[in-house]
Structure 1
Amino acid sequence: MSTATTSSVWRFDAIGTSWAIETAAPLPAEVRDEVAGVVARFDRDWSRFRADSLVASLASGEAASIPLPGDADAMLSLYGELDAATGGAVNPLIGDALARLGYDARTSLVAAGAPVPAPRWRDVLQWDASTLRLSAPATIDVGALGKGRLVDLVLAVVEPAAGGDVVVDASGDLAVRGVPVRVGLEHPYDARRAIGVATVRDGALCASAINRRAWGDGLHHVLDARTGVPVRAWAATWALAPTAMRADALATALFFDGGPELAADWGAHWVRMATDGRVQWSPGFDGEVFS
């Protein structure tokens, strides 16, 4: 939940989730069309849930290389930092491990076997100024930071046209410009409750939780790439950073050892809740955690 002083809200669905863009006045049709184009391009490049995407052609072996998507260098370079900080727990080639547990292109939610680790991505995936290559078929999944990246791209379109306060909210990943926004930190085991409140000031807040995209017996979308097994220690994370991509990346890293240290290196703030109910937060967190 959020509170802001904006008066116009544009709601739509994209990349499998609900979006709300809040502005002082309704956005012109041409701006909405430009947002739709940005979302469509990102989905066409990066969605592992559609057979005609660029990453699907790599996963199938149909192509060993593709023209470098516009967001590849920014996202994959940040994956390098996540990989180093978490000892390899965060990996953009986690897609096949997710599919094996049932989070596949058909969203079957039926595990096909025991968990498998992701490939060592730096041994398989390479890119340069013009090309993205895989030395063996594998499924790229940018879920650790991709939605945050798309929030930033949408904000870049909307902000110049808004002429004032802006909130871009992609169901838990949001960016704010202008008036500060107070956001409730939803309890991962009871959506009617909050464990605290964060204030977002000209920045972004992203959240992740094991109760979202969860199925079967203890299966969910946050896997340790080293084992392919869903994480067990942490139930939910929230991260605040200047960009949504960085906040999204930290929300993933905070499920693992090394996440808080990475946040400190970036000067970012965070809250996380363990599966046993304990809550931790960073020094200087701009908000309140309820006792």
Structure 2
Amino acid sequence: MRRVEHVMGFPVSLRIDDEGDFDAVADAVFAWLREVDVRFSPFKPDSEVSRYGRGELAGGELSADLTEVLALCADLRGATGGAFDIRLPGRGLDPCAVVKGWSVQRAADLLTAAGARRYCLNAGGDVVVSGGPWRVGIRHPEEADQVCAVLAVTDAAVATSGGYERGDHILDGRTGRPATGLLSLTVVAPTLTEADATATAAFALGAEGPAWAAARTGCEVFAVDTTRHVLRTPGLPVT
């Protein structure tokens, strides 16, 4: 099975290589991601995130899902000394850096629960795979048609943060200014929840980010700094 839909502002592609009928779970995957977009988008004024950010919802009124996401964000803020922060001056509440990986991992869990054993779910370049190995390329941060490395990934997730697609959108919460020191940072982790959040938080940390990410349990790192120097951990599954 192969299916592609545009959800949450980016293309999401699903490939399942198992025999069998997975139409129903594929429908459920994309329905869940559309639900996440409605409930968690800071760009939709009626979303739960927007309403909470404006003070229209108290903590006790939040869904279990948003409570979980906010807890993950709080943990990252503490772990980075405030470099990762979803509440920045002049901006509304924006937990997107955690919501994307968390929600796509939840979608992958639906696939696994339905019996899929070999699949690839790619959400705007962040990937979670089952089975394998799958070959996942790391895009060159300055040459859009080139890759820096190709990974062989089995039962894991890959996420990259950088400014080459959306400009200086990742801010250092300690200064309120765009993060500096890195061109891109990729994390391989057991789940996309961990990989995506760690990649964004590490990029916000700047030059100290690769070492911080590498110290997190289960994470392997590939980073390119602003001097074009490549930093990578020994366990990175490069082909």
| Match of residue 71, structure 2, among 70, 77, 90 | 77
Structure 1 residue 173: Cα displacement: 1.0
1:9–1:26: 8 Å Cα contact kept in structure 2?
no
Structure 1 position 265 matched with structure 2 position 216: yes
Structure 1 position 208 matched with structure 2 position 161: yes
Amino acid at match of 2:46: D
Structure 1 residue 206: Cα displacement: 0.6
Coordinate RMSD, CA, aligned: 2.1
Structure 1 residue 67: Cα displacement: 2.6
Structure 1 position 249 matched with structure 2 position 197: yes
Structure 1 residue 182: Cα displacement: 1.3
Structure 1 residue 51: Cα displacement: 1.3
Q: 2:3 matched to which residue of 1? A: 10
Label 1:236 to 1:200 Cα distance change in 2 as closer, same or farther (>3 A): same
Amino acid at match of 1:31: V
Structure 1 position 234 matched with structure 2 position 170: no
Label 1:262 to 1:239 Cα distance change in 2 as closer, same or farther (>3 A): closer
Count of residue correspondences: 235
| Match of residue 145, structure 2, among 192, 195, 202 | 192
Q: 1:103 matched to which residue of 2? A: none
Unaligned stretches of 5+ in structure 2? none
Percent identical among aligned pairs is 31
Q: Distance in 2 between matches of 1:29 and 1:200?
A: 25
Structure 1 residue 17: Cα displacement: 0.5
Label 1:209 to 1:285 Cα distance change in 2 as closer, same or farther (>3 A): same
1:272–1:281: 8 Å Cα contact kept in structure 2?
yes
Label 1:66 to 1:212 Cα distance change in 2 as closer, same or farther (>3 A): farther
Q: Distance in 1 between matches of 2:29 and 2:108?
A: 9
Structure 1 position 19 matched with structure 2 position 12: yes
Unaligned stretches of 5+ in structure 1? 1-7, 100-138, 215-219
CA distances 1:154-213 after superposition (whole Å, capped 9, x unpaired):
111222335431111002111110121111110111111111112211010011111121
Bigger-Rg structure (1/2): 1
More helix by share: 2
| Match of residue 50, structure 1, among 44, 50, 55 | 44
CA distances 1:19-50 after superposition (whole Å, capped 9, x unpaired):
10000258544323322331133222210011
Structure 1 position 143 matched with structure 2 position 101: no
1:234–1:275: 8 Å Cα contact kept in structure 2?
yes
Q: Distance in 2 between matches of 1:66 and 1:233?
A: 39
Q: Distance in 2 between matches of 1:60 and 1:267?
A: 36
2:202–2:212: 8 Å Cα contact kept in structure 1?
no
Q: Distance in 2 between matches of 1:27 and 1:230?
A: 46
TM (normalized to structure 1)?
A: 0.74
Structure 1 position 287 matched with structure 2 position 238: yes
Q: Distance in 2 between matches of 1:33 and 1:165?
A: 17
Q: 2:134 matched to which residue of 1? A: 181
Q: 2:170 matched to which residue of 1? A: 222
1:269–1:282: 8 Å Cα contact kept in structure 2?
yes
Q: 2:26 matched to which residue of 1? A: 32
TM (normalized to structure 2)?
A: 0.89
Q: Distance in 2 between matches of 1:73 and 1:36?
A: 22
1:54–1:66: 8 Å Cα contact kept in structure 2?
no
